[in-house]
Amino acid sequence: VASLPAAPLAKPGSVRPFPSVRDSLRLPVAGSLAVGFGERPSGDIDGRARGIYMETRPGAQVVAPYDGQVAFAGRFRRYGLLLIIEHDGRYHSLLSGLERIDAVVGQWVLAGEPVGVMGQRGGGLGGDTDGGNTDGGSAAGRGAPRLYYELRLMRFAKTAVAAAICAVVLLPAGAQAQESDEEIFRQLKVFADVFERVRAEYVEEVGDEQLIEAAIQGMLSDLDPHSSYLDADSFKDMQVQTRGEFGGLGIEVTMENGVVKVVSPIDDTPAFRAGIEAGDLITHIDGEPIVGLDLSEAVDLMRGPVGTSISVTVRRGDEEPFDVTIERDIITVQSVRSRVEGDIGYLRVTAFNEQTMPGVEEAVAGFKEELGDAFGGIVLDLRNNPGGLLDQAVSVSDAFLERGEIVSTRGRYEEDSSRYNARAGDLLEGLPMVVLINGGSASASEIVAGALQDHRRAIVMGTKSFGKGSVQTVMPLGSAGAMRLTTARYYTPSGRSIQAKGIDPDIIVERARLEAIEGPERRSEADLRGRLEAEEAPLEGEAPDAEGAAEEPQDEALVDYQLARALDLLRGLTLFSQRS
């Protein structure tokens, strides 16, 4: 998933409980009262106002009326930009008519803290003095800007998300939208009826939170395969993965016969230094048996604050089980691996997290130092790379491009579109590149492959990629977790959308195994009787070492046919360049 960084969730220590006396609330904007509570607004609004309408000066600053957490911030249908601040789980402030919102979902705000700006013209919800403008405060309206402000009590909302939905649906509506809003309200009433029947009549008792989370998950997962709801634990795990570091032991593990099996210790980590080996079985953690736990639960037990110790019971082969005490430390997830293949640098990127770009820079610097003038280029291996952070994909592409567009994203609204361009500077200084992809290369991997292919900076080799051309934004939902929502499609520099199409390699190389075939020994010129002997021609300068250039690790070629072909191609390009 090419996801964007999540919004901050830190709760200020000075947040106060919601007051019982409403008179202590401040107005969210300076201005004059245009329509009071219970009055009938002008324009095409039906019914009486459940809030107030403030007429403001152009560009006026809007502030939070009281301490709380942002439950909704964004555009909603005909209402334009809408901001909802949750104060204590039941009371919510609704603000509509802003031209710009300066807060994000999940952010804590204090009374008087700026949260947005009014437009230059036009009315907020409820129309302007000329009547007819109900666009939620867009700059296209006439007359002075208006802000709609309502304090609402949500008696039945269980989460900030539910409260936001109820608040949005129950906003005052114009005559043109009244029928549509009533239909949404009827559908929500059906949902509420189902919710109450399940609570009251299901064969087993089910918690309210579980039901609501399941409903949210169903709503999001039905949109597309990549939109989803993340509960608090899943959200925390996702942040760990994208951050690329955590407090732990430093082992890659799997589950085998009810115990944890060590796949491999990560170099220079506490587990590595403690002597933990690949194939070790961990049967107990701090004296408690692992049997009965799933892998995620066992991993959670092994992770913890840096500097704390943990005792694990290890069973190794036929030896007697023994205990190892390990002190937790910061573990950096290694998303970049590299090695030298002759005169070629091999760069394997397994995911795009916050450690990826520093790892790429370090690997390329290592190639230059080890190979010097013999450095002939790199193979960038993105096979089975599922993606990750968009900004890291852009940074890796930028590292090998001198100029031009890397990727563009286009959302539902034109103002949500973005373009990312390369800055001058190529880490390889023009040396040739081959990018390996396959059906497991997705999202951020395809952004990199597509950018380097469109700019003819690299030859893309392998098989067609996965074809995920969408961007997901992670939106925190307070203590409830977060939602991952598809918010944009991305396009390669040439304007290609690879959604459900994938990146087609320049050279198709299927996965295969290369094996040497034993055959009868053939005769050569050197075996003929009376042959002429070779004479060495005098050479000007020193010719390239063709034998050395063709040398490659035979074991690697037999195991990874696609990599062997990539190395052959790069060496051929290097040899051709030297001869020309």
Q: Write out the catalytic residue numbers.
A: 443, 454, 468
Pairing of strands 378-381, 344-349: parallel
In angstroms, what CA-CA distances link 281 with 27, 46, 252, 312, 317? 63, 70, 12, 10, 9
User: Which tokens in the block code for residue 130?
Assistant: 């000329």
Where would I find the beta strands (DSSP E) of 308-404? 309-315, 322-327, 329-332, 336-341, 344-349, 378-381
Q: How many helices (H) and strands (E) does the chain have?
A: 12, 29
First-to-last alpha carbon distance for the chain, in angstroms, is: 43
Q: Closest Cα partner for 337 from 392, 385, 390?
A: 385
Give, in degrees to the nearest 5, the angle at Cα 376 between 370 and 377. Answer: 95
Cα 139 to Cα 527: distance, rounded to the nearest angstrom: 90
CB 402 within 8 Å of CB 426:
yes
Cα 99 to Cα 29: distance, rounded to the nearest angstrom: 13
Cα 314 to Cα 22: distance, rounded to the nearest angstrom: 62
Cα 279 to Cα 269: distance, rounded to the nearest angstrom: 17
User: Which tokens in the block code for residue 427?
Assistant: 């880490």
CB 568 within 8 Å of CB 549:
no
Cα 260 to Cα 72: distance, rounded to the nearest angstrom: 42
- Measured over the CA atoms of residue 148, residue 149, residue 155 and residue 158, the dihedral's sign is positive
Cα 212 to Cα 164: distance, rounded to the nearest angstrom: 14
Rg of the chain taking only CA atoms, in angstroms? 31
User: Which tokens in the block code for residue 426?
Assistant: 């190529």
CB 280 within 8 Å of CB 315:
yes
Q: What is the full DSSP assignment across 305-322? A: -TT-EEEEEEE-TTSPPE
Give the H/E segment covering residue 99: strand 91-101
User: Which tokens in the block code for residue 448?
Assistant: 């990199």
Residue 462, strand partner residues: 437, 508
Cα 71 to Cα 94: distance, rounded to the nearest angstrom: 10
Residue 341, strand partner residues: 344
User: Which tokens in the block code for residue 490?
Assistant: 């991305």
In angstroms, what CA-CA distances link 541 with 535, 544, 576, 577? 18, 10, 17, 17
Residue bearing tokens 């520099």: 493
Read off the amino acid at residue 475.
Answer: M
